[in-house]
Amino acid sequence: MAQSVVRFLIGRNLRLAGQILAISGLLTLTAFGTLALPALWERLGDPVGTTTMQYAAAGAFILSVVAAIYILSDAGDVNPWLPTGAVLLVLTGYGVTGVVDGPELLFLIGPSLLLGVLAALAGYANDGAFVAFSLVLFPVFGYMVNAPYGPIAQGDIVVRLQLSLLFSLLFTFAIGTVGFLLGVLINRVQTYSGDKLVSELQHPDEISPKHGNENTDEA
């Protein structure tokens, strides 16, 4: 029972779970810097280049998420171009149809979809709900806590932390849960199909007589 709980919360492979948590920590720092670095640049540097710094920091975060996707894809024996290509296809569709504009794709839609893919890959490669959710919860918290506008920016430090945690949990329950369950479901289907095929190959005599009897009865 205890082993099942550990597998559900942490994962099948504790070493891989530790690697996923380390990835979550690095993504959190990168997400924190997405808004912190442009704000620091505006205070210490040239305010004119703040927008450029914002796009550069957001691009760096997306690249770090793509790198994390590659690592988890390798751990789960998945072609990394499959999940990454699917996200890029969706983003391209959004951009071409004009449903959302460029900043929304870069700062909201793109990172959200990529974090959902990360949660799915973590669930597929190692189970572990808490570990998979950390890939969404902590990076979103690191990003939201630095929000320069909206209700988060208008409160004091306590209100900022509370609202950041609230938004992080909402993102986790929405994107993280769907991604994790999808990854686990795909893993279970593949495992069941593989075990069934192996069983049929190892014990063909258990299948052949049955079909033979059916053919005899029909005759």
35 phi/psi in degrees, rounded to 5: -105, -25
161, 53 Cβ separation under 8 angstroms: no
CA distances to 12, 104, 106 from 109, in Å: 31, 6, 7
106, 54 Cβ separation under 8 angstroms: no
CA distances to 29, 78, 108, 166, 215 from 62, in Å: 13, 20, 11, 23, 59
The pTM score is 0.79
List the Cα angle 60/49/24 in 5-degree steps.
Answer: 20
Q: What pLDDT does residue 137 have?
A: 92
Distance CA 22, CA 6 (A): 18
Q: What pLDDT does residue 155 have?
A: 72
Q: What pLDDT does residue 188 have?
A: 87
Per-residue pLDDT of the chain (219 residues; tens, 9 = 90+): 677 778 888 888 889 999 999 999 999 998 888 877 777 777 776 666 677 777 787 788 888 888 898 889 888 888 888 887 777 777 777 666 666 666 666 667 778 888 889 999 999 989 889 999 999 999 989 888 876 666 776 777 888 888 889 989 998 998 899 999 998 998 888 888 866 655 655 555 555 444 444 444 444
- In sequence order, which ranges of the chain are alpha helices (DSSP H)? 2-9, 14-44, 50-75, 81-97, 102-104, 110-126, 129-144, 151-154, 157-171, 177-202, 208-218
Distance CA 80, CA 100 (A): 26
Helices 157-171 and 129-144 pack at an angle, to 10 degrees, of 140
